[in-house]
Structure 1
Amino acid sequence: MGAEELAQAVWRHWAIENGLHWCLDVIFREDNSRLREDHGPQNFALLLKLALNLLRSSPYQAKKSMRMRRKRAGRDDEALAELLGMSPI
């Protein structure tokens, strides 16, 4: 692997990492989290990534922004049930 290929591989890796962290911060305001002790930060980060993956994989409101999808799931029980793959209550 030459220097060019290595540089491209590193760039692609960091583009993916930065995209994930940008989404978590913008959509869920992860940087504002007050969790600092024990396993709280890791556990909460895992839950945020799970929620982000559910929002990304859900076909409902595919043309809406991720932030709007999250807000809709938070306000509408039927939308949340659909997001989780459950039948509405």
Structure 2
Amino acid sequence: MKKQASSLFVKHFSTLDDPRDTDQIKHNLLDILVIAICGTICGADGWKPIQEYGLAKQEWLSTFLALPYGIPSHHTFGRVF
């Protein structure tokens, strides 16, 4: 994903409210959305395969995502969505 594409993604989704309890947040909502969308495009069809995609592509994803706590667990994807 080029910088321009990632900044368009950020601009488009920046208006989303994060409904999660702020005391419990470790992973950025944008990071979760990007990993889920990219994973789904690449054939992941559930939270566990999306997590596995993220782990397999973590080095690349970290070039444009913050990932302060690494790749979220499949439980985190399930709770967010």
Q: TM-score, normalised by structure 2?
A: 0.33
Choose between structure 1 and 2 for higher RCO, CA contacts under 8 A separated by at least 6 residues: 2
TM-score by length of 1: 0.31
Give the number of the structure whose residues are more often helix, by fraction.
1
Which structure's CA Rg is the greater one?
Answer: 1
